[in-house]
Structure 1
Amino acid sequence: MERVLVTGATSGIGRAIAVTLQTAGYAVTATGRNAQALHDLAAEVPGIETLCLNLSDRQAVADALAGRRVDILVNNAGIMPPPGPFDAMPPEAIDETVVVNLSAVLWLTRLVVPQMRGRNAGHLVFTGSSAAHAPGANFAVYSATKAAIAAFATALRGEVSGNGIRVTELVPGRVETGLYSGILSPGTRQAMYENGASLQPGDIAETVLAVLRLPARADVTRLDIMPTRPVPPISLK
């Protein structure tokens, strides 16, 4: 049974991926910072393992992974800073976004790759964003971190493919999750999703499962998944 580590698994896409993969027969460890959400997840999904972990704490991450086998790493954890002009963005928000969306992903991947090389097998999955490939105004830092993840995944694939390690960048369009909670008004969020055209977390989870089920000889290097129908632009009003 392949062992999967899913980060950012307390809500949205990460939670859906963790539930879908555990139900499909993988041995999933779901990580996140919300202990209550992890408790609820463990109560809902038989057999799933949960791990309360702040990925920006390098030592805590290293300690948690010591001796732990990871066959599949799903780097999903991320944050969305409040959208707006870059020159009005608080410096601490810039730093936090870079640490959570990029630096922590690099640190965690650095811990996992050596064991995958040792087994000449493994799969690294990164949740990217369409904002990386078609960036727009008011999302400069978020887009920058996701673009960096795209470049990292491409370069890393060139380094590890010879060891039989697959690398996949997921590139979803708008997904109806809590990503914007706390940074947009309830009315704005409702307007974003009211036409029902946005993707759902389960759509992304089923996509991940399909990718993982391909034979080891096949690597989906980048997978774009967009809403079929147009979605309204995000209003900052």
Structure 2
Amino acid sequence: MKTALITGATSGIGRAMALALHKAGYGVLALGRSQDALAELRAVAPGISTVAVDVTDRDALAAALGAWQIDVLVNNAGVMPQPGSFDTMSLEDIDRTVLVNLQAVLWLTRAVVPQMRQRQAGHIVFTGSSAAHAPGANFAVYAATKAAIAAFAAGLRGDVAASGIRVTELVPGRVETALYTQILTDETRSAMYEGGQSLQPEDVAEALVAVLGLPARADITRLDIMPTRPVPPIKLK
């Protein structure tokens, strides 16, 4: 049985990915910060292994890996800072966004790649964002971190492809998740999702399973997943 490690597995896309991969027959190691959410995940899908860890704690992250053999690494954990003009952002929000969305991803990937290279097999997946490829106002730092992930995925692929390691950047458009809960008003979120115009976490999870299911000779380098119907821009209130 292949083992998939997923970060940010306590809610939204990460949780949907953990459940989808468990259903598809993978051994799942789910990482997240909330003990309660991880316990609920285990209750829904017995057999999923969980570790409560903050990905910004490098030592704790390394310890969470232990002796696990990771066949699939899904770098999914991420944060979205309060939207607004860059010059009004707090330095703390800037630092945390870069730390979670980029630096922690580099740490974890660096920890896993050597074992994949030794086995001459593996698949590394990044949950990116359409914001990386079409950035707009009010999300400059978030877009910058996701653009960095896109560049890292491309560069990493060049480093590891000869070892049989696949690298995929999943690029979803607007997904209805809790990511916006703390940063947008209920009214703004309702307008965003009106008419079922956004993707659901399960849509991205199904795409992940499909990508992983391809023969080892085939690598989806980047997969854009967009709502079928156009979505309106986020209007801040």
TM-score of Structure 1 vs Structure 2, range by shorter chain: over 0.9
- Deviation at 1:62? 1.1
Instruction: Give a deviation string over 1:80-131, Cα, whole Å, max 9, x none.
Output: 0010000000000000000000000000000000000000000000000000
1:234 aligns to 2:230 (yes or no)? no
Question: Counterpart in 2 of 1:127?
Answer: 127
Alpha-carbon distance in 2 for matches of 1:62, 1:75 = 14
**Structure 2 residue identity aligned to 1:120:** Q
Aligned partner of 1:164: which letter?
A: G
Give 2:32's aligned residue. Answer: 32
Q: Which residue of 2 aligns with 1:2?
A: 2
Moved more, 64-73 or 92-101: 64-73
How high is the TM-score relative to the length of structure 1?
0.99
Residue 107 in structure 1 maps to residue 107 in structure 2: yes
Identity of aligned residues (%): 69
Query: 1:151-196: CA deviations, max 9, x gaps?
Result: 0000000000000000000000000001111111111111100110
Q: Per-residue deviation at 1:140? A: 0.3
**Structure 2 unaligned regions, length at least 5:** none
> Once the two structures are superposed, what CA deviation does each residue of 1:34-59 show, in whole Å capped at 9, x if it has no partner?
11000000001021111101110011
Alignment pair present for 1:45 and 2:42: no
- Measure, in 2, the Cα distance between the counterparts of 1:65 and 1:31: 10
Tell me what 1:65 maps to.
65
Gaps of 5+ in 1: none
Separation in 2, partners of 1:189, 1:178:
10
TM-score, structure 2 normalization: 0.99
Instruction: Tell me which residue corresponds to 1:180.
Output: 180
Residue 146 of structure 2: SS of its match in structure 1? helix
How far residue 68 of structure 1 moved from its aligned partner, in angstroms, is 1.4
Q: Which amino acid aligns with 1:27?
A: G
Mapped partners of 1:81, 1:228: distance in 2? 27
Alpha-carbon distance between aligned partners in 2 of 1:2 and 1:62, rounded to the nearest angstrom:
20
After TM superposition, the runs of 4+ consecutive aligned structure 1 residues lying more than 3 A away are none
3-state secondary structure, aligned to 1:179: helix
Count of residues in correspondence between the two structures: 237
Deviates further, 156-165 or 65-74: 65-74
Q: What amino acid sits opposite 1:38 in the alignment?
A: L
How far residue 66 of structure 1 moved from its aligned partner, in angstroms, is 2.7
Matching residue of 1:208: 208
Distance 2:6 2:61 in 1: 13
Q: 1-side partners of 2:49 and 2:65: how far apart?
A: 13
Aligned to 2:158: 158
**Equivalent-residue separation in structure 2 for 1:233 and 1:154 (angstroms):** 28
Using the alignment, how far apart are the partners of 1:234 and 1:14 within structure 2? 23
Q: Which amino acid aligns with 1:123?
A: H
2:189 matched residue in structure 1? 189
